Amino acid sequence: MKVVPTIAELRKELAKARNTAFVPTMGNLHEGHLSLVRRARELAGPKGPVVTSIFVNRLQFAPHEDFDTYPRTFERDCELLRSAGCDIVFAPNEAELYPEPQGYKVQPPSELADILEGHFRPGFFTGVCTVVLKLFNCVQPASAVFGKKDYQQLMVIRRMVAQLALPLHIEAGETTRADDGLALSSRNGYLSEAERAEAVQLSRALADVKRALHNGERDIAALEKRAMNTLSVRGWKPDYVVVRRQVDLQPPQGGEPLVVLAAAKLGTTRLIDNVEV
């Protein structure tokens, strides 16, 4: 496995590559990331290289968010990536990826990017799309793997790839969970021991909504309110628990596949999760 810090060196390494599979990350890796890398290994086949990027992208952090304190565990990340079948770690610094202020940015459509996460984190998906498009241009992969845990992000990236006619396939990786059901996240490390024990209630709230839908309940607003209240009385500060259409994250109209999405703060840590119905 090679660690490559510059775009020029990356392009040299990939000049003759075919069927490159790519997994973009911000580092501080866990089993969820590694499952995406292993899926990329399958997509690339025996000869195609697997590239994983590690870059904490300033553009997607608001001024009050945790850019400066976001965990950076580069040496450990490289050990994990080597064991998961990664061939190249692309690890640019800010000066390499943003040699001048990034005046050109990708503005995703508001109906998808300004709801849910985009509502509570204005500009987030502009930062995500801008860095992902830039990374795609650096790596030029045949496929890229994104986790369903960041469901809205997956939808935004898929739409960008389709509308800009980018020549690559976006593969969705299933959410990896701890034994108790908590979705793995780099930010789980911020939780205290007591908060970690409580954190599973987020996935349980989603499961309750999914169960109610399967049992025929159709008052979506009541289900959402009940889930929000359940979290609130346990000390959470929920931003949203919503039922949306999988295809575009708009409110249900009847009969289409659904997804339940949630974001809530436990202590000082904000967690997100979702479950498809």
Give catalytic residue positions. Answer: 33
Residue 130 · residue 59 · CB < 8 Å: yes
**Tokens for 125?**
């998906």
DSSP track, 74-94? HHHHHHHHHHHT--EEE---H
Geometric angle at alpha carbon 97, from 94 and 102, rounded to 5°: 90
**Percentage helix, strand, coil for the chain under 3-state DSSP, each rounded to 5:** 40, 20, 40
Residue 22's nearest CA partner among 44, 1, 3, 7 is 44
Q: Which residue, 184, 201, 209, is CA-closest to 235? A: 201
Question: Residues 239-247: contacts with CB within 8 Å, 24+ apart?
Answer: 239/120, 239/263, 239/264, 239/265, 239/270, 240/116, 240/120, 241/205, 241/206, 241/209, 242/116, 243/209, 243/213, 243/277, 244/116, 246/276
Contact call for residues 40 and 49 (beta carbons, < 8 A): no
3-state secondary structure of 267: coil
Radius of gyration of the chain (CA): 19
